[in-house]
Structure 1
Amino acid sequence: MNYPQISISMATYNGQEYLKEQIDSIFAQSNQDWQLLIRDDGSCDNTISIIEDYMAKFPDKIKLLTGKECHLGASLNFGQLLEYADTEYIMFSDQDDIWLPNKIELTLNIMKATEQLYPDRPVLVHTDLTVIDSDSRTIADSIWSYQKLFPEIGNSLNKITAQNVVTGCAMMINRKARAVSIPIPGEAIMHDWWIAIKVAKHGKIAYVSTPSILYRQHPGNKIGAKKAQKINILHFLTKLCRLKKLLSAQYKMVKKADPDANLLLLVLNKALIKIAQRCR
């Protein structure tokens, strides 16, 4: 048996509405050297039936992980998948997006080029995303512009701990990045942020300004793309005080990933990034 070069980790939960479109877009990829690993988090709709139909047609391409634990949430569900995946490269898939046909090929090319520059290092590659609505109509051509994100901050540990710019469904990591990222702890707000912090600390993050995915926003999204709002610094600081609980959770995650993290520096970088977004 020829083992695939790439594992695509898909976390599902009550995803029947868009799941077929998501899986079909993976099968339509120009690069077919992959296996789709799916872990369901306790769906009570037709998600499992849809997956089993695809498994019957493509038994060598799809594997459904079974386990007793359910309702872990997206971050820990992806964490379980990451611990199982054992290939040279790992990608992550939501259950409701559409991958553009060259997504794997594009990301893999940048991954290999980056690995040549940074051999034996953890590497993460991520791309821009086009935001669509529940009917696949375009909301924004670029999520980075839409949310006023700065992808270049990915290689600054102090800045990536302050704001995540890596979207899980648009990233690929190598085996060494997996090694420094597992296990994903309960303190992790989201798996992609945790992985980005760990890779920024130990390796290299590369980004591609070309969108590789149609990122769907609909009422059922756990975490989605919200348009950046114009706010002044006083409003931001006032809001920051109200969000003490969220900041506490963020700091716990950051401290778990980087014991040298400093709360004051974290808050300062969050403020500086917001100011930069305001001026963009």
Structure 2
Amino acid sequence: MPSSTVVILLASYNGAAFLPAQLDSIAAQSHRDWRLIVSDDGSSDATRQIVGDFAARYAAGQVTVIDGPRQGATRNFLHLVEQAPRGPALAFCDQDDVWYPEKLARAMAAIAPHDGPAHYAARTIICAEDLTELTPSRRFSRPFGFRNALIQACMAGNTAVFNPAAAAILQQGVGAAIAAGIESHDWWAYQLISGAGGLPIHDPEPVLSYRQHGRSEMGRNDTPRAMAKRLGQLFQGDYGSWLQANHRALDQSRHLLTAGNRDLLDRMQDALHKPGPLAAAMLGRLGLYRHTPAGTAAFYAAALAGRLRP
């Protein structure tokens, strides 16, 4: 495929209510060199018919539908990474967003100059179910990299685009991610690409309307209620379990990581097995951080309380 081709990976499940708007926004992209693979996870509504009608508008092979693994959204996205062709750039796509016309063009312009792995993500405009704009997503000011990726998922998957070098790394590591049962495909992608020495690029300009509704897989994380829920997960053990699944995935792909990041991964895992006060001290010396002071403080408080111990 030409170097400008981007293969869009869309995970669908009973998305008929919102999918037409997303597909129309893909059709309206100023970057015309795209292919779309839809992995449908057993929809019982009109999802497959909608995709089929959309595919009929294009040449054979530009829009493809495959059967998903029927094990949830994360597993469906990993399945898409497995099934995607080798060579071109890859882009994740949610079924219920609406992309702005320049979304792919901005991403491809950002990653094109880089021969090494590059992972693009961007801000969004958080919207109500009817696409009424609510607020922009948070703007991050701290650097992006492995020391952040190990403890925070903040390269939004619904905006993510990977250049061919980064896509190749994902496809080499996806089997380990599936075996590990990771919680979040976008968190894993951020960890693996940054761990391999890739460049995270975070666009401060919003590139899509991020629709919120009752069946949103993740939902916004910037409200007091959402932040309280995530803080609770830190102390209830959910987050610690996610860290362990992430570690299993990264450890089985350690040959893809830089030597320094392999060492960092091992030292973090060693720290997590220590009693709370010692774990917090050891993790602190590693320089792990989240993008807000409150988030970083909560992480270390959870470690101090022993809530991150396997």
* TM exceeding 0.5: yes
Read off the aligned partner of 1:204 and give its amino acid letter: L
State the structure with bigger RCO (CA 8 A, min sep 6), 1 or 2: 1
Distance, in Å, in 2 between the alignment partners of 1:100 and 1:39 is: 22
Read off the aligned partner of 1:198 and give its amino acid letter: L
Give the Å deviation of 1:99. Answer: 0.2
Find the counterpart in structure 2 of residue 170 from structure 1. 159
Q: SS at 1:38's partner residue? A: strand
**Maintained 8 Å contact 1:189/1:250:** no
Give the Å deviation of 1:240. Answer: 6.1
Go from structure 1 to structure 2 and tell me whether the alpha carbon gap of 1:212 and 1:172 turns closer, same or farther (over 3 Å shift). same
Find the counterpart in structure 1 of residue 79 from structure 2. 80
Q: Indicate which of 181, 185, 195 corresponds to 1:191.
A: 185
Find the counterpart in structure 2 of residue 250 from structure 1. 243
Deviations 1:200-228 (CA, angstroms, capped at 9, x unpaired)? 11111111101111111111111111324
1:213 pairs with 2:208: yes
Aligned length: 264
TM-score (norm 1): 0.83
State how 1:129-148 maps to structure 2 within 5 Å.
129-140=124-135, 142-145=136-139
Distance, in Å, in 2 between the alignment partners of 1:133 and 1:44 is: 25
Give the Å deviation of 1:276. Answer: 4.4
Q: Indicate which of 278, 293, 298 corresponds to 1:275.
A: 293
Go from structure 1 to structure 2 and tell me whether the alpha carbon gap of 1:104 and 1:52 turns closer, same or farther (over 3 Å shift). same
State how 1:33-182 maps to structure 2 within 5 Å.
33-60=33-60, 61-66=62-67, 70-86=69-85, 87-113=87-113, 115=114, 119=115, 121-140=116-135, 142-145=136-139, 150=140, 152-155=142-145, 157-181=146-170, 182=173
Go from structure 1 to structure 2 and tell me whether the alpha carbon gap of 1:24 and 1:42 turns closer, same or farther (over 3 Å shift). same
Q: Alignment RMSD, CA only?
A: 3.1
**Maintained 8 Å contact 2:112/2:163:** no
**Maintained 8 Å contact 1:6/1:91:** yes
Read off the aligned partner of 1:195 and give its amino acid letter: A
Distance, in Å, in 1 between the alignment partners of 2:83 and 2:70 is: 18
Deviations 1:217-268 (CA, angstroms, capped at 9, x unpaired)? 111111111324399xxx99x9467421332222321343155233236975
TM-score (norm 2): 0.76
Deviations 1:24-56 (CA, angstroms, capped at 9, x unpaired)? 000001011000111100111110111111122
Q: SS at 2:129's partner residue? A: coil
Go from structure 1 to structure 2 and tell me whether the alpha carbon gap of 1:239 and 1:226 turns closer, same or farther (over 3 Å shift). closer
Gaps of 5+ in 1: none
**Maintained 8 Å contact 2:155/2:186:** yes
Distance, in Å, in 1 between the alignment partners of 2:54 and 2:222 is: 35
Read off the aligned partner of 2:75 and give its amino acid letter: L
**Maintained 8 Å contact 1:14/1:47:** yes
Give the Å deviation of 1:274. Answer: 5.2
Q: 247-256 vs 199-208, which deviates more?
A: 247-256
Q: What percentage of residue pairs aligned between the two structures are identical?
A: 25
